[in-house]
Structure 1
Amino acid sequence: MLDQITRNKKVKVSKSKRGPWKVEVSSTAKNTRNFIREIVDNIKIEPNPQKQLISLSIGDPTVYGNLKTSNETIEAVIKAAREGAFNGYAPAVGYQNARQAVAEYLSFDGAEYSYEDVILCSGCSSSLEMCITVLADPLKGQNILVPRPGFPIYRTLAESIGVKVKYYDLIPEKDWEIDLDHLESLIDYKTAAIVLNNPSNPCGSVYSEDHLRKLLAIAYNYQIPIIADEIYDRLVFPGHKFVSLASLNSYVPILVCGGLAKRFLVPGWRLGWVAIHDPIGAFDHGVRQGMVKLSQRTIGSNTLIQGAIPSILKASPQKFFDGLIDTLVENAKICYEILKTAKGIIPYRPQGTMYMMVEIELEKFPEFKDGMTFGQKMIEEESVFCLPGECFEIPGFMRLVLTVPQNLMEEACDRIVDFCNRHYLLS
């Protein structure tokens, strides 16, 4: 067969020099790492067989079946499927009416978008990938600034294409506000973008308008665009307000990332977006066209959901969103009230999203060298699984998911308290 191929193609092959056939992997593949997976895979998940495993680790609100999307959302998809008009390819950037629906959904509190400002993507992670790729050039040795603690997808997406990541600190004692002095100290002439996650995963923080304006002032002073990850946009608790960065009418160009996944409880539907907020035209010199070109790599997002999204965004009732917030608030209250009675840990009350951060005073648990060994032992003894802070670049913490049924939330927290009190200062 090889001889036939070489005769037809007139390719000379030295059979005497042939060795094992080895296909080299690309640098992009080699540089791609799932940092949560790397950490979790090193934790031996062997729960106590006498206790039901309660997983507070995965940020998928649909896992336990207690949180479901609205009937209006389901009916919108059924209607789109029956119409049969959304089974083919859409424009890579998305159908115009779907983009217009997203533009209207995002136009509030002074922010204004047209359909031309919106590109639909395959989930928010795809939106973030597109934004990092269009702004940061590995051939120029550029870097981006990302929060610590923060969701590790930013690092995964950046380093896979050879872009360096620098971490700016968040301050736990100040409701996880950005350490603005630290952030500013990291900026250099190769900084291509600042990534902001508000409301925050994993912290559950919701930033005030005043704090956001201080960040915008730094970005404006150094002429650095911002990638605003707002996937948890309106998942905020009473007494707090979500402020979209684009609503503050600054002169900073912003790429806003979002999607249906969290607020509408449909992460598997893979419908995200990028909204371009650029009042000064800074993105008109290639970034807008670059976004279009990048969207053409995957030929667009889920067309069936695109067909349904105008109805989803307009018809989903407020009582559905209120019910979701009520569930998250109640679970956050349960967690905080129970966990604050434990020895050696400090729960931080969230202001929104689906998560709570808990500090582990490791010096009070000398038998554990780090948060990973603490978490592994908690699985073995109590069958409660939380992600260690190492997943988010902040050792000595753990993240709890607040979307499980209330009875399991209470049971998990009681077990955590028992575990902490049992191992406190045990050597």
Structure 2
Amino acid sequence: MDLSPIKPARRTENIEYAVRDIVLVAQEAAKAGKELLFLNIGDPIQYDFDTPRHLIEATYQAMLERRTGYSASEGVDEAIEAIRQEARAKGFEPADIFITSGASEAIDFALTALVNEGENVLLPFPGYPLYTAIVAKLGAEARPYYLDEEKAWQPDIDDIVRKIDEKTRAIVIINPNNPTGALYPRETLEQIVEIAREHNLVIMSDEIYDKLVFDGREHVSIASLARELPVVTFNGLSKCYLAPGFRIGWGMVSGEWDLIRDYIEAIHKLARARLSASHPKQYAIPPALQGEQDHIAEVVSRLERRRDLTVEMLNDIPGISCVPPEGAFYAFPRINLDISDRDFVCDLIRETGVVVVHGSGFGQRPGTAHFRVVFLPPEEVLEKAYARIREFMKRYLR
């Protein structure tokens, strides 16, 4: 009997992850002899940043103390208490905290426990593609609301309202935003709170970059503005604490208990089914949140310089314009040409070795073209990359 090819599940058909997918094109360029300059991966450790020593020591000490078995499914008590204190400092009281394998798993749990097939979730476009992938996996609709490039990439409130119907379950915000670097002011967040209250929506707030905020601006947690509403706030060690490989994140559910207790139990069912996040690495959470914070000011200072260089050099290239980011370590420049952004990026990689990600991988308004750059690399690498983009654009415009 002849064997038949295995057919993958239909739920995987619409799952894409542009950040990783573009690596295949980069590998082709490397084989062709191009020197690659990577401006595509938001991993500080791939550049000139180091994980704070006290996080590493706490993890090592936990391993020496034989804390290498399974932990409680929701996480270890010391870590949960440190996260709770951090939330209180942000102005809200979590009803529940669950520790996960990166913030990505927390996002997966929160969406999976909430959304049924045929329902929809409002997602920011541009936004992190993981959300689109998870919603597609669930057989639900990823319904985009657009960020306004003319208003520093702030959410288009009118567009949010237009997109809501009886099957809408949640609205996601990413603050600061990946890929635009936009930071949402209190007034914008208050408008989103009122929309969620009126339409009985769960707010999911991705705040993984909350301490990487520029020019003395303030980050506001939306849960602090809606203490009675169901809000799930995501965070972790990957970005602000420079430990992406630890794969430690968490979700915090806040709101009136009677509104969220069944939802919390659904999340815990998922957490129990996968046993636990990495046990010893959870012990890095208390020293991260409660220990020395000196590295954050240094990281922000370096990122501000690299942000300024990025905006100046990109805006000086004919055919490209770039809104200044206010947080995180991404910029989302616009290609002011009637072209496919994916074709543009693939050509850029093959011809120059500068690896960026096409804007359509994050979502964008129809009729526009963008690409995402990561400005984590040292200044000399950024200068070299942007100079190559300038020369590439000269040929492209011709």
Q: Settle same-fold status: TM greater than 0.5.
A: yes
Residues in 1 aligned to 2:78 and 2:10: alpha-carbon distance in whole angstroms: 39
Opposite residue 408 of structure 1, the aligned amino acid is V
Residues in 1 aligned to 2:227 and 2:85: alpha-carbon distance in whole angstroms: 20
Secondary structure of the residue aligned to 2:265 is: helix
Residues in 2 aligned to 1:342 and 1:22: alpha-carbon distance in whole angstroms: 49
1:209 is the counterpart of 2:190: no
Secondary structure of the residue aligned to 1:214 is: helix
Opposite residue 350 of structure 1, the aligned amino acid is P
Equivalent of 2:58 in 68, 76, 83:
76
Opposite residue 389 of structure 2, the aligned amino acid is I
Change in 2 beyond 3 A, CA 1:290/1:182: same
Could you tell me which runs of 5 or more consecutive residues in structure 1 were left unpaired when the two chains were aligned: 1-17, 364-368
- Per-residue CA distance 1:216-242 (angstroms, 9 max, x = gap): 111111111111111112111123211
Contact in 2 for aligned 1:43/1:372 (Cα 8 Å): no
Contact in 1 for aligned 2:226/2:255 (Cα 8 Å): no
Equivalent of 1:308 in 284, 293, 296:
284
Change in 2 beyond 3 A, CA 1:407/1:31: closer
| 1:381 counterpart residue number | 351
- After superposition, where does 1:271-282 map in structure 2 within 5 Å? 271-279=248-256, 281-282=258-259
Shift of residue 23, structure 1, vs aligned partner: 5.6
Equivalent of 1:406 in 379, 382, 385:
379
Determine what percentage of the aligned residue pairs are the same residue. Answer: 31
| 2:98 counterpart residue number | 119
1:293 is the counterpart of 2:231: no
Shift of residue 280, structure 1, vs aligned partner: 5.7
Opposite residue 112 of structure 1, the aligned amino acid is E
- Per-residue CA distance 1:362-406 (angstroms, 9 max, x = gap): 14xxxxx31122222222332211111111122510111011122
Secondary structure of the residue aligned to 2:234 is: strand
Range 26-35 or range 163-172, more displaced: 26-35
- After superposition, where does 1:132-281 map in structure 2 within 5 Å? 132-138=111-117, 141-279=118-256, 281=258
1:319 is the counterpart of 2:294: yes
Opposite residue 325 of structure 2, the aligned amino acid is P
State the Cα RMSD in Å. Answer: 2.1
Shift of residue 307, structure 1, vs aligned partner: 2.5
Residues in 1 aligned to 2:60 and 2:191: alpha-carbon distance in whole angstroms: 45
Residues in 2 aligned to 1:62 and 1:39: alpha-carbon distance in whole angstroms: 20
Contact in 2 for aligned 1:177/1:207 (Cα 8 Å): yes
| 2:315 counterpart residue number | 340
Residues in 2 aligned to 1:30 and 1:344: alpha-carbon distance in whole angstroms: 34
Opposite residue 60 of structure 2, the aligned amino acid is I
Range 36-45 or range 272-281, more displaced: 36-45
Residues in 2 aligned to 1:29 and 1:297: alpha-carbon distance in whole angstroms: 22
Shift of residue 29, structure 1, vs aligned partner: 4.7
Change in 2 beyond 3 A, CA 1:253/1:56: same
Could you tell me which runs of 5 or more consecutive residues in structure 2 were left unpaired when the two chains were aligned: none
| 1:96 counterpart residue number | 77
Contact in 1 for aligned 2:26/2:355 (Cα 8 Å): no
Shift of residue 243, structure 1, vs aligned partner: 0.6
Opposite residue 158 of structure 2, the aligned amino acid is D
- Per-residue CA distance 1:51-100 (angstroms, 9 max, x = gap): 63111011111113x1001122222222222222x111111111122211
- Per-residue CA distance 1:328-373 (angstroms, 9 max, x = gap): 111001111122211110011100001011100114xxxxx31122
Residues in 1 aligned to 2:186 and 2:348: alpha-carbon distance in whole angstroms: 39
Opposite residue 389 of structure 1, the aligned amino acid is G
Change in 2 beyond 3 A, CA 1:211/1:280: farther
TM-score (norm 2): 0.93
Residues in 2 aligned to 1:208 and 1:56: alpha-carbon distance in whole angstroms: 28
1:63 is the counterpart of 2:46: yes
Range 256-265 or range 410-419, more displaced: 410-419
Shift of residue 210, structure 1, vs aligned partner: 0.6
Residues in 2 aligned to 1:120 and 1:331: alpha-carbon distance in whole angstroms: 32
Secondary structure of the residue aligned to 1:108 is: helix
Shift of residue 191, structure 1, vs aligned partner: 0.5
Opposite residue 96 of structure 2, the aligned amino acid is D
Shift of residue 273, structure 1, vs aligned partner: 0.5
Contact in 1 for aligned 2:127/2:362 (Cα 8 Å): yes
Secondary structure of the residue aligned to 1:255 is: strand
1:356 is the counterpart of 2:356: no
| 1:15 counterpart residue number | none
Residues in 1 aligned to 2:341 and 2:11: alpha-carbon distance in whole angstroms: 30
Residues in 2 aligned to 1:423 and 1:29: alpha-carbon distance in whole angstroms: 35
Residues in 1 aligned to 2:12 and 2:316: alpha-carbon distance in whole angstroms: 46
Range 184-193 or range 245-254, more displaced: 245-254
